[in-house]
Amino acid sequence: MGSSSPPPPVEPLRGAVRALAAASAVLGAVVVARGVSSVLTMRKWRRELIVVEGKRKGLPAPGPPPSLFVGNTPALAGAYYRTLYAHIEEPVSVFYVHSTPFVVVNEVSAVKTVLSGSGGAFIKPRYFGYRSTAVRAAVDADNALSSAMADDGTPVGGGGDTSRRSLLRLIDGAMPDITAALAELFASWPTRPPPSGADAVAAAAPAYRDGEDAQAAVLSTIVALNMRLLFGVGPGTPTANAVASTAARRISFAGAEFARRMVDPKRVWVAPLAGARYVAAVVGLVRLGRSLVAAVERLPADHWVAAWVGTVRPVAKLGKVIGLLMASSQTVPLTIVWLLHLLDTHPAVRARLAAEADAVLGAGAARRSPTAADLDRLPYTEAVVKETLRLYPPFPLIQRVATDEAVLGGVAIPAGTPVFVLPYLLHRNAAHFSAPHTYDPDRWLGAGRRVAGGAPSEWAYAPFGRGPRACAGAALALAELKIAAVTAVTAGRFEVEWAGGRPPGVFPPLGVVPAGARVFRAAGGGV
Ligand code: HEM
C-alpha cells in the first residue's frame, strides 16, 4: 500500500513558501520605508513649526507631543474637542494627524489674519479629505475669483450688492414655504403621554423608526425645502420627498465619514465597509448634483443660485452645486435640533421667545406667519439663534492652507501648512466670552453687543466664518433658524430625549452633531 502512494509535493510547497517570504520582505520594506519617511516628515515639521517670539524661541510650537507614526491621532479620534481644548490658551497650537500637522488658531488677531485675506497668504485647500475633480475645480475657480477681488469682506462669487439683493428677494418669497415646512415637521413629532415613568417613552417611541433620530427628520425636511428654494426642484411631491430623504441620508453619512477621515485618513484601510458606503454616498450625491446642475441652468439669470454658481467650467459647476447642497443641508438641521434642546432645558428663554412672538405676530388664534420684515423686529429671537450657533456651531472646521511663510500668534508657519479655525473652540474660549459654556441669549442684546456678543472682537464669533470666503447663504440660514424658533414656540412645547439618557456634555461628538436626540411634543402643549 505504502509503495504505491505518490511522493509528497515538496517542490511546489517550497516554491509557495519562498514566494510568501519574498512578499513579506517586500511588505516589510514598504512598512519600514513608510515608517522612516513618517518619522522624517514629522521631524521636519517639528523643526519648522517653531515659536519665534517670546521666551521659548526656537522650541516646537505648543500642542501635545506627537507620538512616532501616529502623531496625536489616537487622542483626536477618541476625544477631538477635549484634545484641542486642552491647548486653547495658546494663541496657536499644533496637532499631528499621523505625521501631518494642522495648526489651530485660537487668538483673535491671528483668526483675522487667516480669514480676512482674499487672495493672500491663506486660501481654501483643494482637498477636503476626499479627492474629487469637481470639488477641486470649484475650489480653484473660487480661489481665483477671490484673489481677483478687493479685500472688502464681500462674500466670494456673490457679485456684491446684486447678490445680497437677490438673496433677500429669495428669502422674501420663501417665507411661507419655510414656515409651512417647519410647522408640518414639528406637528409630525409624536406626543409624549403624561409622565408615568418608563412606559411613557415606550408608548411614544414607535413613532420613530429604528435608528432614526430627530436629526434625520429635520434633515429630510430641510433638504426638500432647499431643493425647492435653491434649485426649483419638486413642489413637495412624493417623488421629490423620496429623493430628498435619500439625499439627506447620503449627506449625513458622507458628512460624518468625512469628519472621521479628517481625524484619521488611514481609516480608509481599517474600515473598508464604511469606505464602500462612503463611496456609494458620494457617487449618489454626484448623480443628484448632475440633475441639480441641469436645474440651475433652467433658473432665471437673476436668481441668487444662478448668480452664485456663475459662468464656470461644467466640472466646476458640478462641484459648486454639490458644495451648495452640502453647505445648506448639513448645517441648519443640526442647529434646529440643538435649538429645541436648548429651549427644552431653558424654560425662561422659551417663555421670553414666546412672549416676543406673541407681541410681534399676534397671540393665540390671531397668530400670523412671519414676513421677512418681521424677522428684523424679533431681537430676542435673533439673540436666541446667535447664542445657539455660538454654543453649537454646526460647521465645525474652517480650513485654510498657508500659501507662503507666515508668523501667526508668535509661531512660524511654513508655506503649505494646513491652518484651521474651529468656531467651537473660539466660541467656548473664556478669553473671548464670559461663562463660555452658559447659554445666555442676553449677551447679544444691547447696543454694540449685537455684533460680538460681549466678545472683545467680532472675529471671536464665526459660526459662518468671516471675511471674503464667509458663508454665502448666511442670511437664508438665519432666516430659516429664526422661523424655526418662532414656529417651535407656536407649535407648543417640545422635549428632547437623548440616547443614553443624557445630552452631550461640554464636548459634543465630532462634527458638533446632536447624535441620538429625539424630539417629543409635550403633553398638554403650552409654553
Ligand atoms: C446655520 C447654518 C450655516 C452655517 C453655520 C454655515 C457656515 C458656513 C461656514 C463656516 C462656511 C465656510 C466659510 C469659510 O471657509 O471661511 C460656509 C460656506 C458656505 N456656505 Fe454656509 N452655513 C450655513 C448655512 C448655509 C446655507 C443655508 C447656504 C445656502 C443657501 C450656505 C451656503 C454656503 C456656501 C455656498 C459656502 C461656500 C462659500 C465660499 O466658498 O466662498 N450655507 N458656511
Q: Note the pLDDT tens digit of each residue in 503-514.
A: 888 998 888 989
For a mutational test of ligand 1's pocket, the pick from 114, 388, 464, 469, i.e. the residue with the most ligand atoms closer than 8 A to its C-beta, is 464
Q: Which of 91-95, 129-133, 189-193, 309-313 has the highest mean pLDDT?
A: 91-95
Other Cβ atoms closer than 10 A to 315? 16
CATH number of 133-395+463-521: 1.10.630.10
Contact between 88 and 429 under an 8 Å Cβ cutoff? The reply is yes
Per residue in 227-277, pLDDT (tens digit) is: 999 998 876 566 677 888 899 889 888 888 888 888 888 887 778 888 888
Greater model confidence, 313 or 368:
368
Per residue in 441-477, pLDDT (tens digit) is: 999 998 778 889 999 999 999 999 998 888 999 999 9
Q: What is the mean pLDDT of the chain?
A: 86
Cell of 191: 406626543
Per residue in 192-236, pLDDT (tens digit) is: 766 555 555 555 444 454 445 788 889 999 999 999 999 988 765
Quote the CA–CA distance of 151 and 288 in Å, as a whole number.
34
Q: Is 370 in the pocket of ligand 1 (CB under 6 A)?
A: no
Q: Is 222 in the pocket of ligand 1 (CB under 6 A)?
A: no
Contact between 137 and 315 under an 8 Å Cβ cutoff? The reply is yes
What pLDDT score was predicted for residue 158? 43
Buried b (16+ CB within 10 A) or exposed e, 127-161: ebeeebebbbbbbbbbbebbbeeeeeebbbbbbee
Residues that constitute the known binding site for heme: 471
Per residue in 337-354, pLDDT (tens digit) is: 999 999 999 999 999 999
Q: Is 453 in the pocket of ligand 1 (CB under 6 A)?
A: no
**Counting atoms of ligand 1 from 1, which one is nearest the CA of 155?**
41
Give the residue from 208, 241, 214, 205 showing the smallest Cα distance to 226. 241
Write the DSSP string, 338-369. Answer: HHHHHHHH-HHHHHHHHHHHHHHH-SGGG--P
**Counting atoms of ligand 1 from 1, which one is nearest the CA of 320?**
35
Buried b (16+ CB within 10 A) or exposed e, 248-278: bbbbbbbbbbbbbbbbbeebeeebeebeeeb
Q: CB-based contacts of 65: which residues, under 8 Å, 6+ apart?
A: none
Residue type, 20: L
Quote the CA–CA distance of 321 and 292 in Å, as a whole number.
7
Quote the CA–CA distance of 92 and 90 in Å, as a whole number.
5
Query: Is the pLDDT assigned to residue 21 strictly greater than 70?
Result: yes
Share of the chain above pLDDT 90, in %: 52
What pLDDT score was predicted for residue 34? 86
What pLDDT score was predicted for residue 451? 84
- Specify which residues 400 forms β-bridges with: 419
Residues that constitute the known binding site: 471
Domain ranges in the chain are: 133-395+463-521
Share of the chain above pLDDT 70, in %: 85
Instruction: Map residue 240 onto helix, strand or coil.
Output: helix
Q: Is 395 in the pocket of ligand 1 (CB under 6 A)?
A: yes
Q: Quote the ligand 1 centre to 419 CA distance (angstroms).
A: 18
Quote the CA–CA distance of 136 and 142 in Å, as a whole number.
10
Element (H, E) at 480: helix 474-491
Angle, in degrees to the nearest 10, between helices 379-391 and 347-361 = 140
How would residue 33 be classed by pLDDT, with cut points 50, 70 and 90?
confident
Lowest mean pLDDT, pick from 160-164, 351-355, 360-364: 160-164
Q: Is 477 in the pocket of ligand 1 (CB under 6 A)?
A: yes
Q: Quote the ligand 1 centre to 396 CA distance (angstroms).
A: 11
Q: CB-based contacts of 522: which residues, under 8 Å, 6+ apart?
A: 191, 192, 492, 493, 494, 495
How would residue 308 be classed by pLDDT, with cut points 50, 70 and 90?
confident
Element (H, E) at 495: strand 494-498
Q: Quote the ligand 1 centre to 59 CA distance (angstroms).
A: 37
Using the Cα atoms of residue 190, residue 378, residue 373 and residue 450 in order, give the sign of their dihedral. Answer: negative
Q: Judge if ipTM > 0.95.
A: yes
Give the residue from 374, 328, 367 showing the smallest Cα distance to 175. 374
Q: Is 213 in the pocket of ligand 1 (CB under 6 A)?
A: no
What pLDDT score was predicted for residue 153? 44
Q: Is 145 in the pocket of ligand 1 (CB under 6 A)?
A: no
Region 149-167 average pLDDT: 58
Query: Is the pLDDT assigned to residue 2 strictly greater than 50?
Result: no
